[in-house]
Amino acid sequence: MAALSHRRSQRKRRTLAVSAALVAAGVGAGVFVMSANADAVDLYHQTLAAKDGWAAAGTGTTGGTKADAAHTFTVSTRAGLVKALGSASDTTARIIKIKGTIDANTDDSGKKLSCADYAAGTGYSLSAYLKAYDPSTYGRSKLPSGTQEKARAAAQAKQAKNIVFKVPANTTIVGVPGTGAGITGGNLQVKNADNVIIRNLAFSATEDCFPQWDPTDGDKGNWNSQYDEVTLRGATHVWADHNTFTDAPHLDTSDPTYYGRQYQIHDGALDITNGSDLVTVEHNRFTDHDKTMLIGSSDKDSTGKLRVSLHHNVWKGIVQRAPLARIGQIHVYNNLYDTTTVDGYAPLYSIDSRARAQVVAQDNYWKVPSGGKVAKLLSGDGTGSVEGSGNLVNGTATDLVAVYDAVNAKKIKPTVNWTPTLTAGLETSAANLPAELATTTGAGVLK
């Protein structure tokens, strides 16, 4: 056993040496994994490279690298994943290898569960709920309360108990290459935990069976759902790398309409809230989704935190929040934004800087279809900042803030109060990003 451990250490040192050389050459760490000799790479023990975004700050992000054999798991079922995760308060280092696709909507024996199963015994029914809170009789001035709302909440709690997976500190979760690894219908939640790695997983079809009607949300009310595909709440040192996020196969276009509003069953793709800090999100694909990434749960979220790096991601077929940023220092570099409408997901904006957010948008590429408005690539509330440089729109250098400010009363400030220094892999030209990121992002790329 000692000899095996020694060989692993040698491989790790070779891995870090190659990684450092490539970073020095301006190549992202994710690309290194794909091009290096497979014998020299231990995907499950790989740590975040030095200076690779905010998650590299301080102690860096090593996940479950120190896991012993007893805390190294290969799982392919919901029950197996729950067992491998253990208690959310257990900080023992662990490595979880996901093989194939895990369906969160199954019981411990693997039997498929439906919305009706979660509603059973609660007294909830959609028809009764719709009758009880019809705005024409219930009004629009207050949230639903009473028998059916309590029943809806109880049914939602039953679903949450089954599909929310709580990730403890010092954990690495990686999809096994070549197995179509991922989680469908689930919510991976990192809450008040430090040092977590999530890689090579396809997250899909995370759906709330029991959205709540809120007649006070906006001018016409809205249906609001729970469950992001990945949720960070009070999480620190998190590295999310080479994952895919999608609503498929249940797209928003198939949602019914009640009270004149879409019955929305999806929430965020990857939300970073409640004082989360030191997060790097890289080489992921976000597609077929509306409210994609929220950074900061409200305008009163934690000052001095919410430091996030987003780089070499692809955003295509998304409506908004790529990201919606509040309060924090967010570095957005070398991302590809394709604002073509896909599967009915029509874009509203890409980056929203509000609540005094300090966003640096550097060397990103926007593909905007004919008729698309460049002024709608950004959004803000008049308090946020976006310092931009090197950004291209259809190959042409564009000052996104100047274009936005020219037609909007609530201006976005063009300067920020910080300078990014954790910029490993930064490419100083965005020109090649459409071709490069087409084959180097998302789940299934790492080998």
Q: Where are the alpha helices (DSSP H) in 25-167?
A: 29-35, 78-85, 115-119, 126-132, 135-138, 147-163
The pairing of strands 392-393 and 396-397 is: antiparallel
Rounded Cα–Cα distance for residues 228 and 122 (Å): 24
Rounded Cα–Cα distance for residues 253 and 290 (Å): 11
CA 329 to each of CA 60, 150, 303, 318: distance values in angstroms, whole numbers, following the listed order: 17, 39, 10, 23
Which amino acid makes up residue 204?
S
Q: Give the bridge partners for 98, in sequence order.
A: 75, 175
User: Which residue matches tokens 């790479």?
Assistant: 41
DSSP letters for 40-53: G--GGG--PPTTBS
∠ CA 361-363-369, nearest 5°, is 90
DSSP structure class, residue 312: S
CA 31 to each of CA 106, 150, 242, 277, 338: distance values in angstroms, whole numbers, following the listed order: 35, 49, 10, 25, 21
CB count in 10 Å sphere of residue 166: 18
- H/E element holding 437? helix 433-437
* Catalytic residue list contains 285: no
Q: Which two tokens stand for residue 244?
A: 């895919």
Helices (H) and strands (E) in the chain, counts: 9, 32
CB count in 10 Å sphere of residue 402: 12
Rounded Cα–Cα distance for residues 307 and 278 (Å): 5
Q: Annotated catalytic residue: which of 321, 326, 354, 356? A: 321
Contact 184, 165 (CB under 8 A): no
- Among 322, 59, 19, 305, residue whose Cα is nearest residue 194: 59
Catalytic residues: 321
